[in-house]
Amino acid sequence: MISKTGRMHRALACLAPVLVLLACGESMEEPDPPNSGLAITVVRGPINPVEQPGVDNTAPVADAGFAILNSAGRDLFVASTSPDGTARVALSVGQYAVEVRSCPGALALPARQSAAVIADEFTPVRLECDTGIR
């Protein structure tokens, strides 16, 4: 015959793993990333000395280094573009600036560009580095 204390210990022993799993499950969840941010494209151009109306004279820049700055001008995020010259950065709603810091194949970097992030949208930002081709 099992004593009252023994039954309580057995019940706790059976419940302990369940409680641990429940506690771990909640603490391991990460918050959903914002469903908004910036969709950045970095290109260089012109790539041909002769421009034709209606013909894009730019090319995507792989590994272009860029930074996203807050309204105080401090770096929030520093990264590089993918092989197709793009980057998608999830951010909270607010005002930001995007600055290209390195642009392979270009002579001059574009000016810093402001961008407003709106709820549930990825704001497109296109930055064009100058190749010097004329």
Q: Report residue 67 CA to chain centroid gap.
A: 10
Alpha-helical runs (H) found in 4-134: 4-28
CATH 3.40.50.300 fits 37-130, yes or no: no
pTM, full prediction: 0.75
Per-residue model confidence as pLDDT tens digits over 104-116: 999 999 999 999 9
Single-letter amino acid, residue 121: E
- Report residue 134's pLDDT band, with 50, 70 and 90 as the boundaries: confident
* DSSP, res 119: T
Handedness of CA 107, 112, 114, 119 (dihedral sign): positive
